[in-house]
Amino acid sequence: MGRGEPVRFSRKLFPLKLISKAKTRSRARKRASAGTARPKNHVIWLEKKKKRLGNLSLLTYEMSQPYKKLFTFWFSVLIYDRMVEFRQKWIKSWKLKEQMEGAARSGKQNIVEGSDNLTTSLKVCIKLTGIAKSSIEELIGDLEDFLRQRGLAQWEKDDPRVRALRARSATLVRNLSHLRNLRELEKLPLPQVQEDAANFLLTLCHQATYLLNRQVESLKTKHEKEGGLTEELYRKRKEFRGF
């Protein structure tokens, strides 16, 4: 072996751990000679690098999920999570359990899918948002049946308990749409009394359907003013061709 030639290790003579350490030292010497040596406190350097990459990844991830800015999405998340608890505690029928949980999940997932289709098809977005509203309306019907069949009271919309819950849930959803901290959901737990729990979910569902109705109307107005993707592509094609 001549001077200056790279050192070659044989696995028969040297364990893999020693070879790995030798390669690491060799890389460090090359960096030092090239003037690109890492700082002495390598752990801090790695943490800072991970943090930078993590923040960038988080930003990209949030940009790809525009529905997380919607109040309707966070209302649907809250409804779905509390409905799972509700049906486990007080619904005995397996079929009804599946239907109620499915309706709550359908409301959430159609909001997500509709928002993702906003840039490609405004018509599909309107349709899916309408389906989300219909799913939560179905859930409202089931909750009203639950109260009526058990002889429980349904709270009026002007009931002080309803007003207080609306204020709390509105604040919670506003915080979630800005901060996106899922621990905020724990601030609005499901009541432990079945009448209160059913009315709790009913209030959230009414808030969600009200906002979804406004969202659909807003999307329709947008479609009337701007048109859909096909019209937009046609306009750009005409501009490109110069007529």
In a domain, 123, yes or no: yes
pLDDT at residue 58 is higher than 50: no
Task: Using a pLDDT cut of 90, give the percent of the chain over it.
Answer: 51
In a domain, 61, yes or no: no
CA dihedral 180→201→215→178, nearest 10 degrees, is -10
pLDDT at residue 185 is higher than 70: yes
In a domain, 16, yes or no: no
Least confident of 82-91, 115-124, 221-230: 221-230
Task: Please report which confidence band the pLDDT of residue 49 belongs to, taking 50, 70 and 90 as the band edges.
Answer: low
The whole-number pLDDT of residue 137 equals 97
pTM, two decimal places: 0.70
Which domain covers residue 97, as residue numbers? 70-241
How far is the C-alpha of 127 from the C-alpha of 143, rounded, in Å? Answer: 25
In a domain, 45, yes or no: no
The whole-number pLDDT of residue 61 equals 44
Task: Using a pLDDT cut of 70, give the percent of the chain over it.
Answer: 69
pLDDT (tens digit per residue) in 125-144: 999 999 999 999 999 999 99
The whole-number pLDDT of residue 131 equals 96
Structural domain count, the chain: 1
pLDDT (tens digit per residue) in 208-229: 999 999 999 999 888 787 776 6
Q: Are 109 and 76 in contact (CB under 8 A)?
A: no
Contacts 24+ apart (CB under 8 A), 173-182: 173/71, 173/74, 173/75, 173/78, 174/71, 176/74, 176/77, 177/68, 177/69, 177/70, 177/71, 177/73, 177/74, 180/62, 180/68
CA 83 to chain centre: 18
In a domain, 36, yes or no: no
In a domain, 197, yes or no: yes
Mean pLDDT over 168-180 rounds to 88
In a domain, 20, yes or no: no
The whole-number pLDDT of residue 60 equals 47
In a domain, 74, yes or no: yes
The whole-number pLDDT of residue 22 equals 60
